[in-house]
């Protein structure tokens, strides 16, 4: 498998994960006291995707900087996991 193909696949998985998480956080039927935290989490995940996933997909589709595109594509799930672990530790 070529690097460009792998990057596009990772970007599509990133986009699917972002869409799932964004819908889950923005449309959550949680308590009014925690609804702001849910929307904040949705905004953070959206910003993270816009900074990592979108440029990676653009670079991959244009065929430019394949290693940088793959690094950006892999940065989204790694950063999301790190932020999730930090939130669990902070709120535990």
The band of 91, judged by pLDDT with boundaries at 50, 70 and 90, is confident
CA distance 9 to 3: 10
Q: Work out the percent of the chain whose per-residue pLDDT is above 90.
A: 57
Domain positions in the chain: 3-91
The count of C-alpha atoms lying within 13 angstroms of the C-alpha of 35, restricted to the half-sphere facing its C-beta, is 8
Tens-place pLDDT, residues 41-80: 889 999 999 999 999 999 999 988 889 999 999 999 999 8
pLDDT at site 33: 74
- Mean pLDDT of all residues in the chain? 89
Question: Is the pLDDT at 29 greater than 80, yes or no?
Answer: no
Q: Residue 8 above 80 pLDDT? A: yes
Q: Write the CA distances from 31 to 27, 34, 35, 37, 46, integer angstroms.
A: 12, 6, 6, 10, 22
Is residue 83 within a helix (H) or strand (E), and if so which, with residue range?
A: helix 66-91
- Exposed/middle/buried for residue 12 (C-beta within 10 Å: 0-12, 13-18, 19+): middle
Cα-based distances in Å from 18 to 7, 33, 38, 88, 89: 16, 24, 14, 19, 22
pTM here is 0.83
């Amino acid at each position: 498998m070529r690097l460009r193909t792998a990057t596009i696949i990772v970007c599509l998985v990133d986009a699917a994960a972002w869409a799932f998480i964004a819908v889950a956080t923005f449309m959550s039927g949680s308590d009014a006291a925690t609804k702001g935290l849910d929307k904040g989490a949705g905004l953070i995940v959206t910003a993270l995707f816009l900074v990592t996933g979108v440029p990676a997909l653009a670079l991959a589709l244009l065929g430019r900087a394949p290693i940088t595109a793959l690094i950006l594509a892999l940065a989204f799930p790694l950063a999301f996991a790190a932020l999730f672990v930090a939130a669990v530790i902070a709120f535990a």
